[in-house]
Structure 1
């Protein structure tokens, strides 16, 4: 397996699904199939992204690594937090709610990525670190003070996947590309989607976000909320495994996009927000031509992955460094 192609393929597919998911979010209550696709995507796309990020954090105990990660991510977060606050205010007349402590929309991932690396420094060599991280995540859902502030709720929710990625070795990932694993992954994809389509109401997607404490989002009695998160973890672990078995391990036409996913992630919110108030959305609402969503997401991905745009983002968001912001490895 070509390691670089495999991970670039995974990142490229995942960033496409991120864009699809954000566009689909406006249609999940109108069409059952779109809602099921949305929920299926959300069972694995952020867990897989987080796991891959953890896989490339193996230098965590090298001198200066943690500080370098913080510097690389903190400046883009601050700049884009300011930009999106004023962008939404002046263009879309949203209320001006600027705060460095409450991430705007998808910027939570940058802040969580910083915090995951900090947590990893303490958990990486801890005996039973993974079960402890899982227990903390499950219990912390009961603490109503842990919410969107500093992206703490999502940070603890997805951290077990980051930790798993850190623990994984290359040879373990190699085994996922055997014929047996690919067949199992394919069957899991089919059965997983069927289960979601026929048995899981769209309202249950809140369990996949890790965004809020149980008291604000639970669809079950509060004393059983821990079980809801535990079941969500099982589903997400299975579908993340499914995704990793199905990622191509050879170079594809989209492989190069995987090297610039952070730049795309940072900018796609600009375009998607425009779409929400566009005639295209109105047209899709009226005609139910939902296939347009997937074509539109591909177009956004293509445009934002062009070299001039990536270079511009790198120049704006990086401190003086020989490495690009798009490479968070």
Structure 2
């Protein structure tokens, strides 16, 4: 293994596991409270806004951090594009089964959570090129702020979200474990925690107090489509970048880097993400989320914990992994060694012939030069003998 490859491989620490567990819980919790409870409880709405500001940016940052190895296109097709198609189809099927109308728009994954998987597929295909650009993080932020002024960045292929969240992915890609070691030496952890809480409190108050839609933090639409002018939209989205990066750094400082009995959940987040939303759609359609006992933030907190524990369990992960493996086995041919049709030999022989001709010419030149030297020495010797006589 080359030195460069070793440098690209970041050890998967318990810190990363714990951050992923925390963030996937927030994803599940934020989705389940959005169905009914956010509409009924203003305090929950406040919490919902606060989580939405940073939870996907932080998740995408970690995804970028874990994408440092050289990317394989076919591997990403199998691990991301196929789950994207199946996850979208599962969500669509849940809506249709409930009698709801939902057009099957695979290239426009609004109404599902699978946009993240599509975005991750796009990021991993391009990150090795974009990661080499100088100042790529600030440049991508500037581009994302500008993209919000353009209507063409929309839900089609999640173009808007891919652009808006790319700065977090590339920042994670460029982040080094050495940076984490440095910032984790900071002693004032309580100060960091209080600062983040106050920052989120102020930002959420500003958003709700000014009737700014949460869609702006989701990055799914232009500023105008979110009911804002371009200047205000850029300011608020810029605020989202500032707050999100601050929270990400705080997570790297505050989250424990220790093993615990549920550490395996950090490595099984894909199954949680894949299954949780279709199940919630079914629960909501069957009026389960309207039960008075579940119209309570602590009850839904507990339900979210159960979602994470069950869907992240080893049996569910085994089912998810093997079903995906079976599908890719059916769809894709086994990798075989390409049959040698002699083209390389033909080109190699031409190359060898060319070198042979050059070698022959060089040998002829050297022989001719040697002949000249011999003739010159003979003439010089003859002249010298004549001079002595």
Q: How would you bin the TM-score normalised by the shorter chain?
A: 0.7 to 0.9
Query: Aligned-residue CA RMSD in angstroms?
Result: 2.2
Q: How does 1:149-228 map to 2 (within 5 A)?
A: 149-180=156-187, 182-196=189-203, 198-201=205-208, 203-219=212-228, 221-228=229-236
Match of 2:123 in 1: 116
Q: How does 1:280-291 map to 2 (within 5 A)?
A: 280-284=288-292, 289-291=296-298
Shift of 1:302: 1.4
The answer to whether residue 117 in structure 2 is matched with residue 107 in structure 1 is no
Shift of 1:48: 1.0
Contact 1:184-1:242 within 8 A present in 2 as well = no
Cα distance between partner residues in 1 of 2:89 and 2:289? 27
Higher CA-based Rg: 2
Cα distance between partner residues in 2 of 1:24 and 1:41? 11
Cα distance between partner residues in 1 of 2:295 and 2:99? 28
Aligned length: 313
Match of 1:270 in 2: 278
TM-score normalised to structure 1 length: 0.88
Q: Which has the higher contact order (CA 8 A, sep 6+)?
A: 1
Cα distance between partner residues in 1 of 2:298 and 2:198? 22
Structure 2 segments unaligned to the other structure (5+ residues): 1-10, 330-389
- Compared CA separation, residues 223 and 48, structure 1 to 2 (3 A): closer
The answer to whether residue 244 in structure 2 is matched with residue 230 in structure 1 is no
TM-score normalised to structure 2 length: 0.75
Shift of 1:225: 2.2
Cα distance between partner residues in 1 of 2:318 and 2:154? 34
- Compared CA separation, residues 254 and 173, structure 1 to 2 (3 A): same
Cα distance between partner residues in 1 of 2:247 and 2:136? 22
Match of 2:23 in 1: 14
Cα distance between partner residues in 2 of 1:143 and 1:33? 34
Q: Deviations over 1:305-328 (max 9, x none)?
A: 2222211111222335xxxxxxxx
Structure 1 segments unaligned to the other structure (5+ residues): 321-329
Cα distance between partner residues in 1 of 2:57 and 2:163? 12
- Compared CA separation, residues 32 and 70, structure 1 to 2 (3 A): same
SS of the equivalent of 1:150 reads helix
